[in-house]
């Protein structure tokens, strides 16, 4: 969603804020703005619809000077992207500037009350209400400072927020708060760095404090960091050391983050398996399971919740858990699950899958499951994220920062973690004999090498992209483990190229989608040699009989499906459960090259944001 940055210290805030905003632009990019308290004590405020570069162009080389500032990249919720709705928003007297990520649900009633008290609003945003509310509280009590006024104001607010507030009258401090939207405070030598996530902070300091829900913080050049809850309980800040490397947030010579992240997968999958898959010992070590063995052996049921690509990983995991552990599994969209009245309680394990660890619906689903007595196992990529902290146990995917909005390496890392969990739990529950267990370990440990080999297919896939880039629609089909791969292939294509694409289980084609097939409709099949191979070959025949154009991902050495398809992409053979780790890669490369050829903004597709922290 939106990205927040802030700086307080001896350096010039402006270049730091701009650099930080560029790093955070993947969170939202429909407008950008900054407010800087300049050296003569006045507030410089610049906002613009569009990207950070549009803001810079609008500023026409002007560089405000001053060591206190805040900046924002917006992903619009209330009010269209335009200059007026861009953050920061100012109080009526121009003394306060505020940036916000989240949604103020009761902004209507607050706005009405404040309007009745003489406040005038210029934007359509929910955010503007917050800054007026703080102003109103300050106006009515001269004893209060910004920190106290913000704390009191937040007690009247319903919704989600990460905010940073600057007061012209307090040039040495910055006030921050969070609820359900992330906020990180970087602690430097006599300086503070604020951001929605650690990516803008890492090059300055490794020491950070993650604000918790309903906490308000003040960073001050004279008094340091102070945190209280909005109910006014004192909090002792806990400093955490960041483990992120700078290279991981740079493009490293690639044209786009997405391409870099696709190519990183041999390494990211290997990192995910490292230390957990212990071939020499013939074992899997995962603290989240080792420490709760009885619970996993006796669990009645697994419920997997996630959104988007992470949900697709959950669907594949369902097949794995059924295969390896013989345990009932339900896979739910977090957004549906949280608003139903699901039957869940003690004895159930809820597995929440999320790259960002901040997805609002997934977070709400785990909170509900916890209230109902289920154990929550979180699978997240971002270390220290809300879902990772609120889960009872879990496993990180260790894929490194994923900056491209379309998820690639996080997805395959999720599959690798889920494979480890399913195999480990299968062994624990006595459903996998030693021989099969060991075979699976050997096969899984060889996946990074097979993924590496797939990268050599890129020129071939680029040619296929050239041939199919003009198609207005596309169908993705697969069966068994490869049905969710078809869903993921369709999602990747539509989100970055804006070509309408649908994924289906191949057998479902006859129940409707077959009506779409003609010579203009490309159909992308996963037709690898698994238990469903013959059936998929029949489905390819049905498409060909109706003039459809077929691209098939097949197992190396395949003849039957290959003879029917117009284009063939060969991948290595593997255990059926691990084929998605391979078959998904050609679809990632295909979507990437189609989108590039169509001139799309691959890393920041329209209307999307990396981390959906509002529902």
Residues that bind ligand F6R (CB under 6 A): 307-310, 354-356, 359, 362, 406-407, 491, 495, 611-612
Q: Which is nearer to ligand F6R, 365 or 551 (CB)?
A: 365
Q: Which helix (H) or strand (E) holds 166?
A: strand 159-167
Q: Which is nearer to ligand F6R, 393 or 584 (CB)?
A: 584
Tell me: cis bond preceding 88? Omega within 30 of 0 counts.
yes
Residue 591 Cβ, how far from ligand F6R at the closest point, in Å? 10
Residue 92 Cβ, how far from ligand F6R at the closest point, in Å? 37
β-partners of residue 475 are 502, 523
Residue 20 — φ and ψ, nearest 5°? -65, -40
Q: Which residues contact 379 (CB under 8 A, 6 or more apart)?
A: 351, 352, 353, 354, 394, 395, 396, 397, 414, 417, 418, 421
Are residues 488 and 513 in contact, defined by beta-carbon separation less than 8 angstroms?
no
Nearest to 380 by CA among 334, 349, 414, 412: 414
Q: Which is nearer to ligand F6R, 491 or 517 (CB)?
A: 491
**C-alpha neighbours within 13 Å on the C-beta side of residue 213:** 15
Q: Which is nearer to ligand F6R, 349 or 406 (CB)?
A: 406
Are residues 568 and 458 in contact, defined by beta-carbon separation less than 8 angstroms?
no
Q: In what order do the strands lie in the sheet with 89-90?
A: 89-90, 96-104, 159-167, 173-179, 215-220, 224-229, 234-235
Q: Which is nearer to ligand F6R, 129 or 363 (CB)?
A: 363
Residue 244 Cβ, how far from ligand F6R at the closest point, in Å? 17
Q: Which is nearer to ligand F6R, 324 or 476 (CB)?
A: 476
Residue 415 Cβ, how far from ligand F6R at the closest point, in Å? 13
How far, in Å, CA of 514 to CA of 541, rounded?
12
Q: Which is nearer to ligand F6R, 32 or 403 (CB)?
A: 403
- Do β-strands 207-210 and 192-195 pair in parallel, antiparallel, or remain unpaired? unpaired
Distances (CA, A) of 561 to 299, 534, 544: 41, 9, 11
Using left for φ > 0, alpha for ψ between -120 and 50, and beta otherwise, residue 531 falls in alpha
Residue 495 Cβ, how far from ligand F6R at the closest point, in Å? 6
Residue 414 Cβ, how far from ligand F6R at the closest point, in Å? 8
Residue 31 Cβ, how far from ligand F6R at the closest point, in Å? 21
User: Which alpha helices (DSSP H) does 198-329 contain, by range?
Assistant: 257-263, 265-273, 287-290, 293-298, 308-325
Q: Please identify the residue of the shown chain whose CB is closest to the bound ligand F6R.
A: 308
The catalytic site residues sit at: 2, 610
């Amino acid at each position: 969603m939106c990205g927040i940055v802030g700086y307080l210290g001896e350096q010039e805030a402006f270049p730091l804020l701009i650099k930080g905003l560029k790093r955070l632009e993947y969170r939202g990019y429909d407008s950008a703005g900054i407010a800087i308290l300049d050296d003569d004590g006045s507030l410089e405020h610049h906002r613009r619809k569009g990207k950070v570069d549009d803001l810079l162009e609008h500023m026409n080389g002007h560089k405000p000077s001053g060591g206190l500032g805040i900046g924002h990249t917006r992903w619009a919720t209330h009010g269209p992207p335009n200059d007026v709705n861009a953050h920061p928003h100012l109080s009526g007297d121009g003394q306060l500037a505020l940036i916000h990520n989240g949604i103020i649900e009761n902004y209507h009633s607050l706005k009405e009350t404040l309007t009745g008290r003489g406040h005038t609003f210029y934007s359509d945003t929910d955010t503007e209400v917050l800054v007026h509310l703080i102003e109103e509280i300050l106006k009515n009590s001269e004893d209060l400072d910004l920190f106290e006024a913000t704390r009191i104001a937040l007690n009247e607010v319903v919704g989600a927020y990460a905010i940073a507030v600057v007061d012209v009258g307090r040039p040495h401090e910055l006030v921050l708060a969070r609820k359900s939207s992330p906020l990180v405070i970087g602690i430097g030598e006599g300086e503070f760095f604020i951001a929605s996530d650690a990516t803008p902070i890492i090059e300055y300091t490794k020491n950070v404090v993650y604000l918790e829900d309903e906490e308000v913080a003040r960073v001050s050049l004279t008094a340091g960091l102070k945190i209280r809850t909005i109910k006014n309980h004192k909090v002792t800040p806990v400093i955490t050391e960041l483990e992120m490397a700078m290279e991981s947030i740079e493009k490293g010579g690639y044209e786009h983050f997405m391409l870099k992240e696709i190519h990183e997968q041999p390494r990211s999958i290997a990192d995910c398996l490292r230390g957990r898959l212990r071939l020499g010992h013939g074992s899997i070590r995962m603290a989240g399971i080792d420490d709760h063995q009885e619970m996993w052996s006796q669990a009645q049921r697994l419920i997997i919740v996630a959104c988007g690509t992470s949900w697709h990983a959950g669907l594949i995991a369902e097949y794995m858990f059924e295969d390896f552990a013989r345990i009932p599994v339900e896979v739910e969209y977090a957004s549906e699950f949280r608003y139903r009245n699901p039957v869940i309680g003690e004895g159930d394990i809820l597995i929440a899958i999320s790259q960002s660890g901040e997805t609002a619906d997934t977070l709400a689903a785990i909170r509900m499951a916890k209230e109902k007595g289920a154990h929550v196992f979180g699978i997240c990529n971002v270390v220290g994220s809300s879902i990772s902290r609120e889960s009872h146990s879990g496993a990180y995917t260790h894929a490194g920062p994923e900056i491209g909005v379309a998820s690639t390496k996080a997805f395959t890392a999720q599959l690798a973690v889920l494979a480890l969990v399913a195999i480990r739990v299968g062994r624990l529950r006595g459903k996998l004999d030693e021989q099969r267990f060991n075979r699976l370990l050997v096969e899984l440990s060889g996946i990074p090498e097979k993924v590496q080999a797939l990268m050599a297919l890129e020129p071939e896939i680029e040619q296929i992209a050239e041939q199919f880039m003009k198609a207005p629609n596309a169908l993705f089909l697969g069966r068994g483990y490869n049905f969710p791969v078809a869903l993921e292939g369709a999602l990747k294509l539509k989100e970055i190229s804006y070509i309408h694409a649908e994924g289906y289980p191949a057998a479902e084609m006859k129940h409707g989608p077959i009506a779409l097939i003609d010579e203009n409709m490309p159909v992308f099949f996963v037709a690898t040699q698994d238990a469903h191979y013959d059936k998929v070959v029949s489905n390819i025949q049905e498409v060909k009989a109706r003039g459809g154009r077929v691209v098939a991902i097949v197992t190396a050495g395949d003849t039957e499906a290959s003879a029917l398809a117009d284009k063939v992409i060969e991948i290595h053979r593997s255990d059926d459960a691990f084929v998605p780790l391979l078959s998904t890669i050609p679809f990632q490369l295909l979507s990437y090259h189609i989108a590039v050829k169509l001139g799309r903004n691959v890393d920041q597709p329209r209307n999307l944001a990396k981390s959906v922290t509002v529902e």
